[in-house]
Amino acid sequence: MTTRTDLYTIVSQLMQPGKGLLAADESDATAEKRLALAELPNSAGNRQDFRELLFTAPGVEEFLSGAILFDSTMHESTDKGVPFVDVLIARGIVPGIKVDAGNSPLPQFPGEVLTEGLDHLGTRFKEYFELGARFAKWRGVISIGDGIPTDEMLELNAHQMAAYSLLAQEAGIVPIVEPEVLFPGSHSIREAEDATTRTLAILFKVLARYRVDLKGLILKSSMVLAGDTHETQSTPDEVAAATLRTFKLSVPREVGGIVFLSGGQTPKRATENLQAIASYGAQPWPMTFSYSRAVQEPVLTTWQGKPENIPVAQKVFYNRLKLNSLAQQGKYDSEKDK
């Protein structure tokens, strides 16, 4: 039987200094956007080939402590028949699983959505644990606009996350809660800070009410920055100051760790902002990256689905992870990121 201590050990493994999480949990449908960067059709074979390229890249275990997978990926293997989960475990990379089922419009709340996926989740967790998963992820989607996000929507989604977290911890799986405040939009950094602060304050109030063990939980958060179409884009120092201010107002100190999503930022910008946050020094929580497109995009454009490009694409992946590892430690030099 898994104990609380086991959960804390998993959190410690995931939050190792200099390492981050690979978000390779795109659904089979969403993978189309990724493969389009390499001008490839969204076929099962292409998805499998790309994930094998990532998971077998030489040396990436130096910078990765965990990898979040989609359900189908949990059951996939390399071309030689080795399950991807076993490949990761052998390299000291903890396998994780995305368990939410996406979102749907929330009736009576225009422009807002509710995450789904609680049906039979306890049973699914038992199966994923047997497959090797030791952490999971549940994503909520928060848009900024006229009158939104509403506190009602934020609280309803927080209840979903609390139920998910309780089921995960009962199964011996560390829950990652990801209330993503979307980057696309014309909102200012001040509006993003307000929305993110309210989102997190409501989330942790609900998690505490339902007795979720915060030491055995990880927050995956957006950075606080102006929307991608706002007339003035946020500088790294503005992002760092607003993000840390938000966390200190809304995230309990006992939370096991915080990982950042890139949320549509360019690879270099996501790394620069991570460096700016780290430059403020030690915080109450360990913090690191959990990027998807921000580490995958340069790999895909290099690979292009050609076997002969795999070695150089894997080097690109290694180097992108190394830069984020340096940024997590406050040692990144943007002048060397060409």
For the segment 2-17, what is each residue's pLDDT rounded down to a tens digit?
677 899 999 999 999 9
* Structure confidence at residue 111 (pLDDT): 96
Instruction: Give the pLDDT confidence score for residue 32 in this predicted structure.
Output: 82
Query: Which residues are designated catalytic?
Result: 178, 220
Which residues of the chain register pLDDT less than 50?
Answer: none
SS3 95: strand
Structural domains present in the chain: 4-332 (3.20.20.70)
Please report the pLDDT score of residue 1 as a whole number.
Answer: 58
Half-sphere exposure of 185 (CA within 13 A, CB side): 20
- The partner residues of 59 in beta bridges, in order of sequence, read none
Gap between the Cα atoms of 254 and 213, Å rounded: 9
How much is the pLDDT for 33? 81
Q: What is the pLDDT of residue 103?
A: 95
Q: What is the Cα–Cα distance from 29 to 242, expressed in whole angstroms? A: 34
The predicted pLDDT at position 35 comes to 87
Within 10 Å of residue 17's Cβ, how many Cβ atoms?
Answer: 10
- Measure the CA–CA gap between 58 and 90, rounded to whole angstroms: 13
Helices (H), 210-306: 236-250, 267-278, 293-303
Q: Which pTM does this prediction carry?
A: 0.96
Whole-number pLDDT of residue 251: 98
Rounded to an integer, what distance in angstroms lies between the CA atom of residue 140 and that of residue 147? 18
Neighbours of 89 (CB within 10 A): 14
In this prediction, residue 2 carries a pLDDT of 62
- In the chain, the percentage of residues whose pLDDT exceeds 70 is 99
Q: What is the pLDDT of residue 236?
A: 97
C-alpha 150/C-alpha 143 separation (Å) is 10
How many Cα neighbours within 13 Å face the side chain of 202?
Answer: 21
